[in-house]
Amino acid sequence: MRKRTVFAWGVAILCFVVLMIVTPAIPQSQEYHDFADQREFLGIPNTLNVVSNFPFLIIGLVGLILCFHRNYFRLRLQGELWGWACFFVGVAVVGIGSSYYHLKPDDARLVWDRLPMTIAFTSIMAIFIIERIDERKGTVSIIPLLLAGVVSILYWCFFDDLRPYALVQFVPCIAIPVMAILLPPMYTHSAYWLWAAGFYLLAKVEEAADKPIYKWTHHIVSGHTIKHLCAAMVPVFLTLMLAKRSIETERQSLLETWKISWTKVRRNETTVESYTCTYSNVPVEESPR
């Protein structure tokens, strides 16, 4: 088992090195800081982009408190507790860091927006490893994954290259939904992971359509502001999942569950069709005149 773990890490590192060699650097575009909605209200620059980060702070603090208050989330493993604590700390600090950045957008402030996001991304990966693969490996991976996130930000700061940060951000976006579908869960309500992933994907689309959305809404709200609100739904759904879930007695992946449900639906349709055909072939007696 240990050899396989070392081999897996070796392959991952090798793939990363090859990717860094064969792909060009991705510098930070200064156009990124040119958001559609730059209105000022009550003396707050870029007001809506600033205040729309407030939900991150609230849900992050609520989740962090519930992690430690009488074990409200019923976390059974120490690794889970620390993983979720890191996640909610990251979410709360996103609310502060992103607000600070949007007051005066530039590269120096963007660091404090992205750094807490990497904490949230990497801690979620560790949590998933704990729940779906191996408790000990997941717990041990918390620190290395967090460090990988921090290093990706430092690499961007020193070399103006976003490739490591892009991997830290987008690999969990792909890996988590795939693992949520294919790997048997430890807890119920596993579908909440997919809802969270869906809202994050929607947030990225809204971020890309910042200016078109601002135009479509007649300068009422921009895509970036809506992006913040949609992205905040990710920790909301995960918090709801933690509050509602219980130990899964019959561990089945979502894919297996969907297959069973589909089989039942097809069987019911076949039964109804068979009954309908049988009934339609029964001769109808004429009533006496």
Annotated binding site for Zn(2+): 102
Type of residue found at 42: L
The dihedral sign for the CA sequence 128, 133, 138, 144: negative
Phi first, then psi: what are they for 76, rounded to 5°?
-90, -25
What is the Cβ-side half-sphere exposure of residue 157, based on CA atoms within 13 angstroms? 14
| Cα angle for residues 149, 152, 158 (degrees, 5° grid) | 145
| Cα angle for residues 133, 135, 139 (degrees, 5° grid) | 115
- Contacts by residues 246-253 (CB-CB < 8 Å, ≥ 24 positions apart): 246/74, 246/187, 246/188, 247/76, 247/186, 247/187, 247/188, 248/184, 248/185, 248/186, 248/187, 248/188, 248/190, 251/184, 251/185, 251/186, 252/184, 253/181, 253/182, 253/183, 253/184, 253/185
Angstrom distance (rounded) from CA 92 to CA 129: 23
Secondary structure class of 222 (helix, strand, coil): coil
Nearest residue to 186 via CA among 246, 123, 257: 246
Contact 201, 225 (CB under 8 A): no
Residues of the binding site: 102
Which residues are CB-neighbours of 286 under 8 A, at least 6 positions away? none
